[in-house]
Structure 1
Amino acid sequence: MDYEDVRHTDPAVAEALDGELDRQRSTLSMIASENHVSPAVMDAQSSALTNKYAEGYPGERYYGGCEYADEVEQLAIDRATELWGAEYVNVQPHSGSQANMAVYLAALEPGDKILSMDLTNGGHLSHGFKANFAGKVYEVEHYGVDPDTGRLDYEAIEEHAKAFDPDMIISGYSAYPREVDWERFQAIAESVDAYQLADIAHITGLVAAGVHTSPVGVADFVTGSTHKTIRSGRGGMILSSEAHADAIDAAIIPGMQGGPLMHNIAGKAVGFGEALEPEFEEYANQVVENATALGDRLQEHGLGLVSGGTDTHLVLCDLRESHPDTTGKDVEEALEETGIVLNANTVPGETRSNFVASGIRAGTPALTTRGFDSEACREVADCIARVVDAPDDGSVVEEVSADVDALCERFPLYE
C-alpha cells in the first residue's frame, strides 16, 4: 500500500491515505461494524472494474463490454448462495441500508406499516427512524427489549403486532448482543399476514460460519452488509426465495440504483471466496469467544452489560449504574486518545441524547482479524475499564496509550 500513483498525482490525498493506514495500524478498531479486509479484497476493489458501467444483471446488461463484469458478479452470487444457502441473491446494493430500501420497494407501498426495533434499543436508522427515508415513506411503530432483561420479549412483540397490524416486521439489529429467534418472528409475522425482513448486517459472517442461527429460508427477506463480520467488499446484499427475485431485481434497477459498483462487487466475490475456506469458521468462532471474554472481564471490573453478556461479536455496556455521571461520549473520546476506537451508544431506557448516550458499544471482528485471542481481549477490557474509571485523568490515558501501542506491536496489521 504505497499509493505511489496517487502520491505523484495528488500528494494531499496520498498524505491522507498514508495517515489513515497508519491510524489503522496504530489503533485498535472496536467499532462493531468495522473490520479489516485482506489485501486481495482491496486489490479487487481498486481494479479496472471501477471504470465499467454494467446496468442490469449478468447476461442481461444495458451496455456492451460486460463479459468480465458478468463473470465477477456471477462469482459473487454463486459464492453467496453457497455461504448462506439462499435460493436467490442480489449483490448489487451499495450498502445494507440500500438493501433494506430495495426490499421495501419490492414488498411495500408508500404508507404501509412497518414494526421494527426502536433505535435506542438497538435498531437501525433504515428500519424506520423518523428522519430516515423509511420513517418518512412508511407508517412505523417500534418495539423494544424487556427493560429488566435487555432481551427481546417475543410475547410483547406479538401483542404489539396484533394491535398495529403491520405489513412488515423487521428483525435483526445494530446493537443487540443476543441471538435472535427468527422462527418466532416469522410465526408472529405470519399471524398478522406480514412479511419478515431479517437484517443481518452485523452478523453476516457469523451466520455464514454457522456461529449464529440463520434466518435464510425462514424469513421472507434477508438483508446484510458485506464488509462487517464477513470481511468482503464494502456494500450490501439481499437474500430471499426465487418467488421475490423479479420484484427485488426491479427494485434495485430501475427502482433505486443505476450502474452497480462493479469494483465493490469484485471485492465481495473475493471476500466471499475467502469465507468459504475452513479458516473462516475458526475466525468467526474466535470473534464470539473474544466478545465473550471482553464482556466477562468488563463485568469483573463492575461495568454492566445490556442483557448480561453477549452471544455475538459485540458487547453493549451500560454506564448508568456504575458511572452515572459519565456519558458514553466521555468514554469514547477518552479511549480514542489512547488508541482504542469504539462508539458511544444508546442503551434501553436511554435518557440522554443519541449524540451523548449512556453506553458504549465494542466489537471484536477487527481485533480478531489482527490475531487477538481471548486473553488479549481481556487485556483490552482492562484498558477500557481503567479509562472508564478516570476518563479525565491524563496519566491514566498516557499509561493505557502505552499498553495499546504494545498490543498493536504484538498484533501487527498490513505488514
Structure 2
Amino acid sequence: MPTDLSPVDDELARALTDERERQRETLSLVASENYASEAVLAAQGSVLTNKYAEGTPGARYYAGCEHADEVEELAADRARDLFGADHVNVQPHSGTQANLAAFLALLDAGDSVLSLDLTSGGHLSHGFEHSLVGRHYDVDHYGVDPETGRLDYDAIEAQARDVEPDLLVSGYSAYPRQVDWEQMQAIADSVGAYHVADIGHLTGLVAAGVHPSPVGVADVVTCSTHKSIRSGRGGMVMCDEEYADAIDRAVMPGCQGGPLMHSVAGKAAGFYEALQPGFDEYARRVLDNAAVLADHLRKRGFDLVSGGTDVHFALVDFRESHPDLTGATAEDVLADVGLVCNKQTVPGEPRSPTVGSGLRIGTPAVTTRGFGEDATRRLAEVVADLLDAPDDAGVRENARDVVTDLCREFPLYEDGARVVDP
C-alpha cells in the first residue's frame, strides 16, 4: 500500500485512507473496475514516476532510460505472450488514448467511421458527437436488433455498404454478448474499411482464452489494462507488423508525449500475474459469476438486455418490469448499502444518459475478492430485493448487513490477505 503521507500532507493522507476503507467496506459491481494487487500498486507508485521516456525502447529523446526501456520491453513481451500479437504498444494512458491512436494511424481527417451507438452499448471514444473522434471524423452508428438486443450482422453489413466507411469499429462498453470478430472483419473487408476491435472490457477474458480473441483477425486491437486484467489503469494497442510503425507514431507524438512509465510498470506486473496458471481460473469464475447473477435477476422478474450474458456483466432494463425505476435511482439505492455499480442506457433509450433506464452490474472486482457462485447468489438476492422495494427501510437494513458480512468474508487489502489469487 502507499507510504504513509501523514507527516507531509494530512489532508491527502486522510483522503487516501478513507478511500481504502471505502473499497474495503463496499463491493464494486462496476463492470469497468477491478482491484489491482499490491505488486501492481507498488509498481505504479514506484520511482518511475520521476522518469521521462519519450520515444520507444532504444530510441528515446532523453538519456537515462535504460531501466525504463527494460520495464517497457517486459510489459510488451508479456502482452505478446498473453495475446499472441505481432506488435504491442503499451504506452497509451488509457483505452480512449489507445482508440485515438488507432484512428489517427489509419485515418485522415474527415474520413468516415461506423461504430455502435452509445445507447446500444458503444463507447464515447468510438465517435460520440462531443468527443474528439466525433468532431474530427464523419461518424455513423449502427445499433442492435431492438427485439433481441443483439448485433444483427446482416443489418450492419447493409449499413456498411450504404455508408462505405473508412473504418469499422467493433468491441463495446455495454454489450453483454460475444462478438463475432471474423464476421465484423468480413464486413470491413467487403467495403474496403479498416477494422478496429476494442476489447477494453474483455482484455482479461481474451488473455485467459475464455472469450474469443480478435488479435490476428482485426487490423488493430485496442484495450484498457485494468478492467478484467487487473494490470493498473492504462491502455494498449496491438496490431500486425504492417501497422506497427504507424501505430507507434500515432501514440507518440500523435496523441500523447512521454509515457507514464510508472503505469507501464504496473502493466508489466499485472501481465506477469495474468501469465500465471491461476489467472485462467479467475477469468472463468468471472464469467460463471456473471451468469449466476444474470440468471438470478431474470428469475426474480428483471428484464436483461439480450436475455442474459456471455461476458462479465448483466445489463438490466427496467422499462417494462419496473417502469418507475430509473438507472440513476437504482444506482443510488444500491450505493446507499455499499453496492457500487453504474446506471446505463439501454437500446432504444428514452431517457438521458445521466438518468438511463438500465443498470450494468459486473463481476470482475467481486471475483477478485474471492466470490464464487454461492456468494454471487447471495449478492444477487440482495440486489433484487433492493430494486423491488427501493424505499423499504427494512430491506435496506438487511442489505447493509449482507454487504458487511460479504466484505468481512472476502477481505480486501488487509494484513495477510491478498487482493488477487494468482
Secondary structure class of the residue paired with 1:338: coil
- Where does residue 412 of structure 1 map in the other structure? 411
Structure 2 distance, partners of 1:115, 1:2, is: 43
Alignment of 1:345-360 (within 5 A): 345-360=344-359
What is the CA distance between 1:60 and its match in structure 2?
0.5
What is the CA distance between 1:217 and its match in structure 2?
0.2
Q: Deviations over 1:167-225 (max 9, x none)?
A: 00000001011000000000000000000100000000000000000000000000000
Alignment of 1:20-99 (within 5 A): 20-99=19-98
- Where does residue 240 of structure 2 map in the other structure? 241
CA contact (8 A) 2:2 2:45 kept: no
Structure 1 distance, partners of 2:325, 2:257, is: 46
Structure 2 distance, partners of 1:103, 1:353, is: 29
Structure 2 distance, partners of 1:391, 1:93, is: 41
Secondary structure class of the residue paired with 2:343: strand
What is the CA distance between 1:341 and its match in structure 2?
0.3
- Where does residue 112 of structure 1 map in the other structure? 111
Structure 1 distance, partners of 2:177, 2:64, is: 46
What is the CA distance between 1:91 and its match in structure 2?
0.2
Alignment of 1:293-304 (within 5 A): 293-304=292-303
Structure 2 distance, partners of 1:150, 1:120, is: 11
CA contact (8 A) 1:233 1:269 kept: no
Secondary structure class of the residue paired with 1:7: coil
- Where does residue 291 of structure 2 map in the other structure? 292
Secondary structure class of the residue paired with 1:253: helix
Larger displacement relative to structure 2 (394-403 or 260-269):
394-403
CA contact (8 A) 1:3 1:14 kept: no
- Where does residue 150 of structure 2 map in the other structure? 151
* Structure 2: runs of 5 or more not aligned: 415-422
* Code of the aligned partner of 1:181: D
RMSD: 0.7
* Code of the aligned partner of 1:7: S
The alignment status of 1:258 with 2:269, answered yes or no, reads: no
What is the CA distance between 1:374 and its match in structure 2?
1.0
Identity %: 62
User: Where does structure 1 differ by over 3 angstroms across 4 or more consecutive aligned residues?
Assistant: none
- Where does residue 13 of structure 1 map in the other structure? 12
The alignment status of 1:207 with 2:202, answered yes or no, reads: no
* Code of the aligned partner of 1:341: V
Q: Deviations over 1:301-354 (max 9, x none)?
A: 100111111111011000111100110111100100010000010001110110
Structure 2 distance, partners of 1:27, 1:40, is: 22
- Where does residue 180 of structure 1 map in the other structure? 179
What TM-score results when the alignment is normalised by the length of structure 2?
Answer: 0.97
* Code of the aligned partner of 2:19: E
Structure 1 distance, partners of 2:373, 2:224, is: 26
CA contact (8 A) 1:299 1:305 kept: yes
* Code of the aligned partner of 1:373: G
* Structure 1: runs of 5 or more not aligned: none
What TM-score results when the alignment is normalised by the length of structure 1?
Answer: 0.99
Q: How many residues align?
A: 414
Cα gap change, 1:2 to 1:109, in 2 (>3 Å): closer
* Code of the aligned partner of 2:336: E
CA contact (8 A) 2:166 2:193 kept: yes
What is the CA distance between 1:399 and its match in structure 2?
1.5
Structure 2 distance, partners of 1:3, 1:338, is: 30
Q: Deviations over 1:143-175 (max 9, x none)?
A: 111111111000000000000000000000010
